Structure 1
Amino acid sequence: MTGGKIVKIDTSMTVAHDAKLPRDGLTFGQAYYLWATMEGSMRPSHQVCMESFWRLLTPTVVWLAAFSLSGCVSTSPTVCHSSGIFGQPCSGEMYGGAGQNDAPCELRKVSLPEYVVEPPDVLLIETVNNIRPATAPVHVGEALLVQVNRTIPLSQTEESVAAQFKTINGMYTIGADGYLNLGPEYGKVLVADLSMEVIQQRVDSHLRQVLTNPQVLVTLPVPQNKQFVAGPHLVRPDGTVGLGVYGGVYVSGLTLQQARTQIEQHLSQYIYRPEVSIDVLAYNSKVYYVITDGGGAGEQVYRIPATGNETVLDAIAGINGLPTVASKGSIWLARPSPNQCGPDQVLTVDWDAIAQGAQAGTNYQVLPGDRIYVKALPLVTFDTKFARLTAPIERLLGLTILGNGTVQSLQGQNLNQNN
């Protein structure tokens, strides 16, 4: 359109292109149509709205992108972090002379200290013998061998059953009432939960009431305990290990030798001179962690039992390799200090040298409590953070476009009905 041409805005208002517009009295819709006319064409309303919106949004987006990228890319070397020291490069002075070159690795491993039992370890405990001590009580249901000399004399005309009643020489089981039944000729003797020595005395005293100077012998033909201690035993959360009918023993915080001594002392109440074999079946209490960065979408933590011989390569193999978003140049091993106030030891890992060149210098030995951190690629982290920032804006623009499209569709239907 050229200057001086009359443009029709609606049925009730005409405005000249070069006319001066009044400052008041125009609605927003009228002002928008006038501005579009001056631009040279009547573009769709949603297109003009989008262009205006992006003109305002572009500087903000550029500033947010620069801010996010500055937090993802770092050119500083790996530093050691602790509660008292921050921002200092890893060096041997910080660890009492034990720097990265002194840390145990694949070709220079160290032996771990003596293993300390803790929950939830699984111990393999076995007893060599299972013979009860002489002072152990005899319980209901057990059989005793009772032999007596100088019993009631037998006649030649007695029946076999009557002769058996007068003879005491065989196995006698302690009844549910706790009595040892010696037959109708001699009666019963209460012997349950007594030691063999006391049982011998009671049977002898009882028979002397019937017989004259009898010779009595009471023995336990099966001196073994009914329950054997053999197999895996889980260390409970309270630090004890269960031994079945023999109760539990506290073993948490003890070495294997100390735990063996404790168990033998406890079993000596039920087993004659017990000899115990103990070993660790599952090392569940000593673990290390592999933490993979999700590139701004959280972190995944893997808990792996430590057996004392793993390296960084073994740890990564335990999680089926590096994630697809991992940065091979940003992997390190963090080792806590034995002193709570001391600095942590952070050892950088050269993944390409380990995996592609078989260099063992940074393939460190993993110790219990270590953390292996695999950082994500900076670009992936930036993309995730940027998508998180722009998601509300995209959602708002989508609603704006949808609303404009709906309004234009309704306006078109009204025009068709009027025509």
Structure 2
Amino acid sequence: MTTHPEYRVAAPDILLVEAVNNIRPPFSTLRAGDQVLVQIARGLPLEPDVEQETSPLEYQAAVEFEQAFKTINAIYLVGANGSIDLGPYYGAYPVAGKTVEEAQQLVLQVLKDRFGLRAPQVSLILPDVAGKQAISGEHLVRPDGTLALGVYGSVYVAGMTLDEIKSLLETHLAQYIYQPELYVDVLSYNSKTFYVVMDGGGYGERVVRLPCTGSETVLDAIAQVQGLSEVSSRDIWVVRPAPAGSSCAQVLDVNWSEIVAEGITTTNYQILPGDRIYVEADRMISIDNALAKLISPVERVLGVVLLGTRTVQQIDNPNANNNNFGF
């Protein structure tokens, strides 16, 4: 047994891609639907603007009202209009399309300009720093050789090794994810195959396409097609494809009896991608089928002639059937 060369991905392989790190980069912008934790210190004064003759209960209610709407320390949703609404006192702030730092500076500047606050302090934090879409699961290599990454676009990976694909995907995702770290592996080896061709003894050939994962032998291949058929002989050989333009091919004869009856693995060759295992039909069955195909048309012609003769005789002599035939 020999190891195959370093695997190169092709359509329609299925890759397993797992993102170890899936955090939004600091330069990513806010968008509708994001949740932002907003905290404001040294903001608007909490003392209620009430008349002096107000009763203690009314004053306490006014204080609680002021504290409820002027204390900003909660998570706010970026609305469909791209703004976060901080309540009736502070109002709304358009933050969509801005980074977290830019949105923080916007709120801080508005507090100074609109409300005349001298030294307000503002903090904006993203509680959920995950990327737009998780990079996890099965990814099919398309017929054009590209790998779909959802909202992050697609990348051409055909003909590349797993290490090359990992490096390429991390470079591509760095535009959307902070320092992405990926794990890439082949989940289904669909592009590397071999074929088992079963001779039908004059009635066509059955071709079975099987995936080549690296350790299959002739015996494994025959086992995957449920063994030799009723018309198969023990004349089996492996044909290894020759390079384009070559006039000869590599043919490896298989001694089936030695492999299955004696356990001799000399001719139990390891199968490589593109190999053809040909199982020839039993020669006697092939001859019998050939004779059957040759004689069958003659039998049909004679049968039609005989049927026509009997039909004419029956028309000429209707009683002939009663006199000469019957059960």
Structure 2 length-normalised TM: 0.89
1:272-312 residue CA offsets vs partner (Å, 9 max, x unmatched): 11110011111111000000000110000000000010000
Q: Which secondary structure does the structure 2 equivalent of 1:356 belong to?
A: helix
Partner of residue 149, structure 1: 41
Where do residues 5-404 of structure 1 align in structure 2 (5 Å cutoff)? Answer: 109-155=1-47, 157=59, 158-209=62-113, 210=115, 211-328=117-234, 330-341=235-246, 343-404=248-309
Q: Which secondary structure does the structure 2 equivalent of 1:315 belong to?
A: helix
**Structure 1 residue 228, shift from structure 2 partner:** 1.8
Q: What letter matches 1:132 in structure 2? A: R
Partner of residue 52, structure 2: none
8 Å Cα contact 2:24/2:129 also seen in 1: yes
**Structure 1 residue 339, shift from structure 2 partner:** 4.7
Partner of residue 325, structure 2: none
1:150-194 residue CA offsets vs partner (Å, 9 max, x unmatched): 212122643312233222222221111101112222221111132
- Tell me how far apart the structure 2 counterparts of residues 226 and 161 of structure 1 sit (CA, whole Å): 38
8 Å Cα contact 1:140/1:193 also seen in 2: no
The alignment of Structure 1 onto Structure 2 pairs a total of residues equal to 307
Partner of residue 408, structure 1: 313
- Tell me how far apart the structure 1 counterparts of residues 189 and 249 of structure 2 sit (CA, whole Å): 25
- Tell me how far apart the structure 2 counterparts of residues 312 and 189 of structure 1 sit (CA, whole Å): 71
Q: Which secondary structure does the structure 1 equivalent of 2:172 belong to?
A: helix
- Tell me how far apart the structure 2 counterparts of residues 203 and 349 of structure 1 sit (CA, whole Å): 80
- Tell me how far apart the structure 2 counterparts of residues 178 and 273 of structure 1 sit (CA, whole Å): 27
Greater shift after overlay, 253-262 or 199-208?
199-208
- Tell me how far apart the structure 2 counterparts of residues 222 and 408 of structure 1 sit (CA, whole Å): 96
8 Å Cα contact 1:165/1:185 also seen in 2: yes
Q: What letter matches 1:165 in structure 2? A: F
Structure 1 length-normalised TM: 0.70
**Structure 1 residue 114, shift from structure 2 partner:** 0.6
8 Å Cα contact 1:288/1:369 also seen in 2: yes
1:346-388 residue CA offsets vs partner (Å, 9 max, x unmatched): 1111111111111111100000000000011122122222222
8 Å Cα contact 2:47/2:66 also seen in 1: no
Indicate the RMSD between aligned Cα atoms, in angstroms: 1.8
Q: What letter matches 1:135 in structure 2? A: F
**Structure 1 residue 320, shift from structure 2 partner:** 0.5
Q: Which secondary structure does the structure 1 equivalent of 2:93 belong to?
A: strand
